[in-house]
Chains A and B, each alone.
Chain A
Amino acid sequence: MTCLQGLPTLQEIVNLVLRIITSRTFLEVVFFPGFLNVMLSAAFLTWLERKVIARVQLRIGPLYAGISGILQPIADGVKLMFKETIFPELADTKLLMLCALGLMLLAFAPAVAIPFGEGFVIANMDVGLVYVFAVLSLFPSVILLIGWASNSKYPFLGGLRSLFQQVAYEIPMWLSVLGIVMLTGTLNLTKIVEAQQRLWFVVPQVLGFAVFFTAALAELERTPFDLPEAETELVMGWMTELSGVPFMIGFLAMYTKLYVMSALITTLFLGGWSGPGFVPQPVWVLLKTFLVASVIVVIRGSFPRVRVDILLKTGWTRLLLLALVNILVTVALISFGLDWVWRI
């Protein structure tokens, strides 16, 4: 019996589990700024997109599931869970499944760095901005891998286009936020929001905002830059051969990315949680995020798709030049001593 002396009793284990489950960290990771919030926000965004696009096209959109169809994403998810997972005969099945898993892990990863209030963030990292960009820049590789594993022509072309698109938007996107980094002197997203208490960065960095927004549309692979899944050319692009749960994950990953990108635009340019105090800070973040997301959706309803070469040329000439001009404007701002407004 002596060997059992050191082992914890059942009561102790139960207590430990209860303490972990009720701890603030666990609740944050699993519920509010964490997993469930991202999942439900992405589901909400699919509903929002269908509703807004329907209004743009003079339709009504989903109507029957819940109040004005708000439960439609859940119904779709349950439907897709029970669908057969079809793989084309030449496909690398194991790789496709792994890619679906990797896509899910990648899609949820950047959301940890988004601050939802003063000190209300899962991971308050000093390199938050670089972390988000690093994770987002891995997406095209996974999409190309899905195209490769599907071994079908449309998904593969979609994956290649995704890679070329990254070449077009990534550098203008990085350089457009450089002005903010120069004004605040930090990469920590919480500190960037704190620096905007007096004036949001959309005012001094309006050029950077324009470049970042355009690059974000390309990053999200949304109209007018939805080349990797151009429905009229590539059927469904890289998602053509996905079905059942992998398709659901691909779809969810796209909307998670939309949520993360809108939240990032909110954090960087629209003051994050700052706003009149009668509404709690996390609600401000969510409100601004969904507002930015609905603007992106309206853009989808209004613009035609651009060609690949036009996207590349625009990215490397106009966007890059505007981002550099934005850096010069920021240098001028700091030189004239106007940066005290955003000092913490």
Chain B
Amino acid sequence: MGLDTWSLVTVYEIVVFLVTVPLLIFGWLMGAKGKNPIRDAPFESGQTHLGEARQRYMMQYYPYLIMFIVFDVVAMFLFTWGLAFSGVPLTQDYLFLVFIAVLVAPLGYALYLSGRREFW
């Protein structure tokens, strides 16, 4: 069977799918069923639950999220650079180290700002 790489991944995932779905259905069929308002309430440490959980929560670490969005892309660029690193003459690649250094400086400033709550 000459299957290529991604077809094999698909076949493997189909096997997982074919095991999981019957398992879920089996559990649904074999388990006891019944209605009990107290048991079916969302768990809130034994208290009566206070409505929906889908409320607004405070995003305390928002600056980190912004930095993540920036550096996610940078990390991907670094991967392509790292792949090419061993193949090409070295002198061109030292310039990339300057690029990293230029990126780290604003990161340090952003971390400093995220530590000072009065700025955001």
> A299 at the A/B interface (Cβ < 8 Å)?
no
A81-B30, A90-B52, A156-B54 known; A108 vs B75 contact (CB < 8 Å)? no
Q: How many residue pairs at the A-B interface have CB separations less than 8 Å?
A: 192
> A197 at the A/B interface (Cβ < 8 Å)?
no
Q: Which size bracket describes the interface of B in this complex?
A: 35 or more
Whether A26 contacts B43 by the Cβ 8 Å rule is no
Residues of A306-331 whose CB lies within 8 A of B: 308-309, 312-313, 316-317, 320, 324, 327-328, 331
Bound-complex Cα distance A111 to B104 (A): 34
Bound-complex Cα distance A306 to B35 (A): 40
Bound-complex Cα distance A26 to B15 (A): 10
Whether B24 contacts A122 by the Cβ 8 Å rule is no
A100-B24, A185-B83, A317-B111 known; A235 vs B43 contact (CB < 8 Å)? yes
Residues of A123-137 whose CB lies within 8 A of B: 123-125, 130
Interface-facing stretch out of A46-54, A176-184, A218-226, A277-285: A176-184
Bound-complex Cα distance A309 to B59 (A): 12
Q: Considering residues A26, A168, A248, A331, which has the most beta carbons from chain B within 10 angstroms of its beta carbon? A: A331
A164-B61, A185-B87, A317-B111 known; A171 vs B71 contact (CB < 8 Å)? yes
Residues of B within 8 A of A80 (CB): 27
Whether A123 contacts B16 by the Cβ 8 Å rule is no
Chain A residue at smallest Cβ distance from B78: A178
Residues of A within 8 A of B68 (CB): 167, 170-171
Q: Considering residues B42, B57, B65, which has the most beta carbons from chain A within 10 angstroms of its beta carbon? A: B42
A167-B61, A327-B100 known; A83 vs B27 contact (CB < 8 Å)? yes
Contact of B1 among A25, A167, A327 (CB under 8 A): A25
Q: How far is the CB of A184 from chain B (nearest CB, A)?
A: 8
Q: How far is the CB of A330 from chain B (nearest CB, A)?
A: 8
Whether B79 contacts A316 by the Cβ 8 Å rule is no
Bound-complex Cα distance A174 to B75 (A): 7
Shortest Cβ-Cβ A-B pairs, 3 listed = A245-B27, A152-B42, A84-B31
Q: A105-B17, A153-B44, A155-B53 are in contact. List 6 more A-B contacts (CB 8 A).
A: A83-B31, A105-B13, A152-B43, A167-B68, A170-B72, A241-B42
Chain B residue at smallest Cβ distance from A235: B43
Whether B78 contacts A175 by the Cβ 8 Å rule is yes
Q: Considering residues B1, B13, B24, B49, which has the most beta carbons from chain A within 10 angstroms of its beta carbon? A: B24
> B19 at the A/B interface (Cβ < 8 Å)?
yes
A88-B41, A112-B9, A152-B53 known; A168 vs B78 contact (CB < 8 Å)? no
9 of the cross-chain contacts (CB-CB < 8 Å) are A35-B15, A85-B27, A90-B53, A109-B13, A153-B42, A171-B71, A175-B75, A246-B24, A331-B94
A29-B15, A151-B53 known; A123 vs B61 contact (CB < 8 Å)? no
Contact of B40 among A23, A88, A147 (CB under 8 A): A88
Q: How far is the CB of B22 from chain A (nearest CB, A)?
A: 10
> B109 at the A/B interface (Cβ < 8 Å)?
no
